[in-house]
Structure 1
Amino acid sequence: MIDLSTWNLTIPVGVPAAVISTPVLAGGYQDHYFQSKEGRLFFWAPVNGTTTANSTYPRSELRETFANGALRNWPYSAADNVLTATARITQVPSNGLIAFSQIHSKNGTSPPVMLGYQSFSPTGYGNVVISFRGNPASANATKIVLSSKIKLNQDFSYEVFLAKNGRLTIGLVEPGGAVKTWSGVLNSAWASHNLYFKAGVYTLDNNGNETSAGAAVFSTLKVEHR
């Protein structure tokens, strides 16, 4: 079973979007946008859902906290910071694009790292894409295709490892067992930023009705600060 005692949950209802506190989430919270059952987490975010204050897109997404519900934010230099997960993307909106994991910054609206999935329906496959903003002053993020061999409804495992020296390594195991890795280094300007992990579904589309949505299932999810 996935431990929910160190996360809160944003769901795409209310203005701004509602946040389910850690104690309520860990106590067995379920709704239309999030379910925890049979040891797995189910996330769903329709394109017409409401958004957080600084976003134009809807989300059903976990955000790192302490067990008492206080937000957990950390400088990358304090520890080796690791998120590991096994997930499958089960639905994408009309543009085919969602995000499923992030390292975000409390100090700004543009994260240093986002993992996204881009579906290409004619081929049956999709890309797992890294959006990497090595410097917080950068206007645009660098896009890296980590894997082009992930279909909808296929499990894949991945790890996001941000070392205390600022080196970021992302690894992914494709459904066939092939391992893909990428590494980069955060600019030292990120050292003054308080960071945190996110995981779930951030639907990068807001055109259409609720039949157009992003959805994902996580069968493992763990965060460590070593």
Structure 2
Amino acid sequence: MLSALLLSGCASSGKRDSGHDSAKAKAPNGAPAAPASSGPPPAVKWRGVPLLSAAPRPPEADFVRRWKLTLPVNQVGAPSGTAVELPVAAPTAPWLSRAADGSLTFWAPVAGARTANSEHARTELVSTRDFSFGSAVHMLSALLSVAQAPSETNDVCVGQVHGGGPIRSVAFVMLHWRDGNIVAVVKQALQGSDSRTVTVFAGVPLGARFGYTITDQGNGSVAITVTYNGETRQVTRHAKAVFLGTDERFQAGDYQQAVTSGSPADGGRVTFYGLTAS
């Protein structure tokens, strides 16, 4: 449950697909301003389950049990070399900060430590619970906003279905906020860069709250749903057979997609108001 968590790697190469499969509405013209709001946000629902409540309860027990945390610093705390992974996720300022309402803000500078198989620094939660893809329904749902993106690429990966075990270097499904669009990248092979890219929702500006759900439907297909400003759009993609039965896990946070920058203040900043994995 959402209130039990918060309020309790991403390549972009490959072919593009710009179509929407279902829940399709007319796309906005350009990037609109984020809707004004006052007071606590209303509940956002997927499949009838509320993902945000006005008064969520503290998350510590589930937060500790369900997630590890990758930081953009090395073992001595310097923003260089190999990124450290905390086996127990916890707010670690300035990289991961908790607000009074229970939301979590992730900060990942471009000039940060990186994991062994990536060019990009990140502050990212890594689920401790792997699953066999295609064996049953598994879902990652979030409510979030992207406040800052790196100047080089204007691109932050905010959710993943990522390989575990023997394929832990393989990012299978990656969801990006990219230059005002919510874009999914689905890998087509266990090795190499072959992937398919689809724009799920266009016109989501910096600072705007939106929701997403990434679903392993248990039948070899992946559904990606995005909700913004009262509209919901979904795409479904059938995975290549090589991914059936592979060891996968969910990851979520701020995986900024730039490599170089001249400023230590350049990077990605993302706030999660709710997050569930099941």
- Does the alignment reach a TM-score above 0.5? yes
> In the alignment, is residue 6 of structure 1 matched against residue 66 of structure 2?
yes
State the alpha-carbon separation in 1 of the partners of residues 168 and 71 from structure 2.
Answer: 21
Corresponding residue for 1:133? 187
Residue 30 (structure 1) shift: 2.5
State the alpha-carbon separation in 1 of the partners of residues 224 and 230 from structure 2.
Answer: 16
TM-score normalised by the chain length of structure 1: 0.87
Corresponding residue for 1:123? none
State the alpha-carbon separation in 2 of the partners of residues 192 and 182 from structure 1.
Answer: 22
Return the match for 1:159 from 198, 209, 213: 213
Return the match for 2:178 from 118, 135, 141: 118
Corresponding residue for 2:91? 29
> In the alignment, is residue 75 of structure 1 matched against residue 123 of structure 2?
no
Structure with the higher strand share, 1 or 2? 1
> In the alignment, is residue 18 of structure 1 matched against residue 84 of structure 2?
yes
Corresponding residue for 2:250? 197
Say which one has the larger Rg: 2
**What one-letter code is carried by the residue in structure 2 that aligns with 1:160?**
I
TM-score normalised by the chain length of structure 2: 0.71
Return the match for 1:168 from 214, 218, 222: 222
State the alpha-carbon separation in 2 of the partners of residues 139 and 43 from structure 1.
Answer: 27
Consecutive unaligned residues of structure 1, counting only runs of 5 or more, are 66-71, 120-125
Deviations 1:54-108 (A, max 9, x none): 111100000001xxxxxx3221133211011101001000120110000011215
CA RMSD of aligned residues (A): 1.5
- Aligned 8 A contact 1:134 1:185 in 2: no
State the alpha-carbon separation in 2 of the partners of residues 151 and 30 from structure 1.
Answer: 27
State the alpha-carbon separation in 2 of the partners of residues 192 and 214 from structure 1.
Answer: 33
**What one-letter code is carried by the residue in structure 1 that aligns with 2:219?**
N
State the alpha-carbon separation in 1 of the partners of residues 267 and 86 from structure 2.
Answer: 20
Residue 138 (structure 1) shift: 5.8
Return the match for 1:85 from 136, 139, 142: 142
Larger mean CA deviation between 49-58 and 184-193 belongs to: 184-193
Corresponding residue for 1:102? 160
State the alpha-carbon separation in 2 of the partners of residues 78 and 117 from structure 1.
Answer: 29
**What one-letter code is carried by the residue in structure 2 that aligns with 1:19?**
E
**SS of 1:39's equivalent?**
coil
> In the alignment, is residue 143 of structure 1 matched against residue 143 of structure 2?
no
> In the alignment, is residue 216 of structure 1 matched against residue 274 of structure 2?
no
Corresponding residue for 1:184? 237
